[in-house]
Amino acid sequence: MSLPDSNPESEPVPHWDLTAIVQDLKAAREQWRHRRHRDRDKGDREFPSPDRVRDLLGLLRGALFPLRLGPTDLQRGGEDFYVGHALDRALTGLVEEARLELASHATADEARRLAQARISAFAHSLPELRALLDTDVEAAFQGDPAARSVDEVLLCYPGVHALIHHRLAHRLYQLGLPLIARIIAELAHSETGIDIHPGARIGRYCFIDHGTGVVIGETAEIGNHVRLYQAVTLGAKRFEVGEDGSLAKGQPRHPVVEDDVVIYAGATVLGRIVIGRGSSIGGNVWLTRSVPPNSQITQAQSQHANRGPTDGHSA
């Protein structure tokens, strides 16, 4: 049996008309820009870069937890120097990415001024965010009998990493930088399988156990000491539509979860409903109605709960 000829010179040479393809792609870009009223050539990068934001996020995580998420060769005596160096690089880079996000709605000088002001406010909130994240680490350690140390939790638990991203993204979202915030959220989503919109409000001592498949919508509100398991969805039941047929943006449409609630694996909680304080929502429950404090909802009970009279902030 003879082997096929593997001599590259004997194989057909592929051919493509690069000039034509490049021109066709240019035409497609120009059509898109024209439809979106973006015909003006700015001459430089117009939007924040996900790759750049990923690098800056790594510096921020290292600055928040230098001996755990910082450089492998960092010693305790060099913590402050490293944190200062990392923050200087991260914040300077964020000012530029913020300027790009703001440039489409402001003059060049105004975008630069606003970017500096907003990243300055973000920088001064980092100690508060670190203290908030410490509560999440503590919640994970206390809530999981398999956790042997807070260091293990911080280094290994995807729910904690997702919350680090979210706390940073949410602050940027509050400061009027939703695009950078969304990039950070999607970086966490790709790393952990946990999808938290940066607009979601999450209280202290949050524990996302296992976490894969968790979805938390933009207008969700989560209280203190809440525990969510894998594949939990805090989603919208319906979407308001404007007169032109487009979806209304920013309307409250996701659940409010009060303090000390546990939502077990696979539960789907939809709409602007309230899960009362101290409640327990069982696995695979489908819930679209508010429940009062200290409720214990199972699959069978959720069918009755979903036939409640109203869809709102009261049980």
Which domain CATH number covers 105? 1.10.3130.10
Task: Give the domain extent around 143.
Answer: 46-193
Q: What is the reported pLDDT for 309?
A: 43
Q: What is the reported pLDDT for 250?
A: 78
Query: Average pLDDT, whole number, for the chain?
Result: 91
Residue 297, beta-bridge partner list: 281
Question: Which two three-digit tokens encode residue 229?
Answer: 């398991």
151 or 244, greater pLDDT: 151
Are residues 81 and 183 both part of a single domain?
Answer: yes
> By C-alpha distance, which of 181, 165, 180 is closest to 64?
165
Exposure on the CB side of residue 234, measured as CA atoms within 13 A: 36
Distance CA 133, CA 215 (A): 20
Instruction: Taking residues 33-42, report their average pLDDT.
Output: 70
pLDDT band at 212 (very low <50, low <70, confident <90, very high): very high
Question: Which two three-digit tokens encode residue 64?
Answer: 């928040």
Distance CA 162, CA 296 (A): 28
Residue 15 lies in a domain: no
Q: What is the reported pLDDT for 313?
A: 34
- pTM, to two decimals: 0.86
Instruction: Taking residues 177-181, report their average pLDDT.
Output: 98
Q: Is the pLDDT of residue 278 over 90?
A: yes
Are residues 63 and 172 both part of a single domain?
Answer: yes
Distance CA 83, CA 72 (A): 14
| Residue given tokens 């690098």 in the structure block | 55
| Residue given tokens 């000088």 in the structure block | 109
Cβ count within 10 A of residue 256: 20
Q: Is the pLDDT of residue 312 over 80?
A: no
Residue pair 95/102 in contact (Cβ under 8 Å)? The answer is no
307 or 280, greater pLDDT: 280
Q: What is the reported pLDDT for 13?
A: 67
Residue 50 lies in a domain: yes
Residue 206 lies in a domain: no
Q: What is the reported pLDDT for 104?
A: 85
